[in-house]
Amino acid sequence: MKAVVLAAGEGTRIRPLSASLPKPMLPVADRPLVAHTVDAAIDAGADEIVLVIGYEAATVREYFGETYRDVPISYAVQDEQAGTAHAVNAASGRLDGPFAVLNGDNLYDPDAIARLFEEAPAVCAIEVDDPSNYGVLSTTDGTVTDIVEKPADPPTNLANAGAYAFPERAREWLEVPQSERGEHEITDVLAKVIDQYAVTPITLERWLDVGRPWELLEANEWKLGDLERRIDGDVSDEATLEGDVVVEEGATVRSGVVIEGPALIRSGATVGPNAYVRSATLIDEGAKVGHAVEVKNSVLSPGATVSHLSYVGDSVLGRDVNFGAGTTVANLRHDDASVKFTVKGERVSTGRRKFGVVAGDGVKTGINTSLTPGLKLEADARTRPGETVDRDR
C-alpha cells in the first residue's frame, strides 16, 4: 500500500518557528516531526511514500531524497494550501490500488498505523473529553456509520485522528466542494467511503496533533521519553549522566556537567563545562550549552547557543538563536495560572503551568536579558543588555 503523507503546510499557529521552516520539519527528538509519521507508515508496510509538499518544499526534499529506509519516496506539489482533500488530490496521479493518508504534523501510536493498514478501509480515532473541536465518529458493531465536523452536540466522544486507509475508488471522490471553512476537506471523502464500505475504527492509545509551540514541547516529551541510554560521543569522566541519556557520536559533554534524562545531545552539540540539563531536553545538532547554564524541558534547535550563566526552561529555541550571557527565562506565573501565548494574534491558554519563551530563528539577546513567561520572539529579534522583555516582539 502506498501512503500519502501531508507535509505542504506552513503552520501559521506555530510561528515564529515556521517562519522559514515547514512545521512538519520541526525537530522532535532525533528527526523531523514528519519523519516519525513516515517511519510509522514504513513500519506498517508501506511500499512507497508520497509526500505532498508546498511551503519550503526544498527542505523536505533534501531530508528524504528519492529513497528513505530503502523505500521509494515520490513528491506531489500542492501550490495552494486549499485543504486536505485538495492535498491528496495533488498526489492522486501517483496512486493505484488502496492507499493510506497520514498527517505529517501528527504523532501516532505506530502499532495503530499497522492496524490501520491491516483493516483497510479504516480510520484512526481517539477518545477525547471535548469532541466538539474535532470531527466526531459514530460507530455501530465495530463499523463507522457517520462523521460530523465539530458538532455543538457531539454524538460520541470518538474524535477523528486524521489517519485513513482508503479503497482505490476513493480517488474518484477527491474533488469535493469547498466546506464552510473554504477548504476541500478529506473528511468529505471519508463520508463517501463510509456510505459505500464497511469502515473500521482504529482506536489510538496515544496521539498528538502538533499545531502550536507547546505541542512541539509535548511531542519531544513523548519521543524523548522513548529513548534508551546510549553514549557514543565524547563525555568527560567528570560529567554525570543519569537515566536515559543519549549522547550521539560527534557530541561533546565537558567536565562538571550533570544531565538527567530523558535527554538527547545530538552530533556536533557541546554541553558545559558545569552545565545542568534535565527533564526531556533536546540539544540538537551543533547547538551549544555554555558554562553554568541550566536547560530544563526545552528544545534547542540546530545551531542554537545558550551562553554561560543562563537559564532556559520549558522553551523552544529556533535555529541559530544566541542567548547572551546571563539571559534568564521565566517560565511560571506568580498566580500559578496556566501560561498564555499569542497564536495568530490572540492570547490563548497553553494549558501548561510552566511555559517559557519561543524564539524564532536567529534571535539574539543581550547579556542579562530577562524573558517573561509565554513570550514570543520573532525571527531575528534583538534585545538590549539588561532588558526585561514582557511582551511579544
Q: Which residues are catalytic?
A: 308
CA–CA dist 315, 310 (Å, integer): 13
CA–CA dist 51, 42 (Å, integer): 13
Cell numbers 524564532 correspond to 360
Burial of 308 (0-12, 13-18, 19+ CB in 10 A): middle
Asked if residue 291 lies in contact with residue 309, where contact means CB atoms within 8 angstroms, the answer is: yes
- Residue of 183, 80, 99 whose CA lies nearest to 135: 183
Angle in degrees, 0-180, between the axes of helices 110-118 and 33-43, rounded to the nearest 10: 40
Asked if residue 279 lies in contact with residue 294, where contact means CB atoms within 8 angstroms, the answer is: no
Asked if residue 331 lies in contact with residue 325, where contact means CB atoms within 8 angstroms, the answer is: no
CA–CA dist 196, 234 (Å, integer): 59
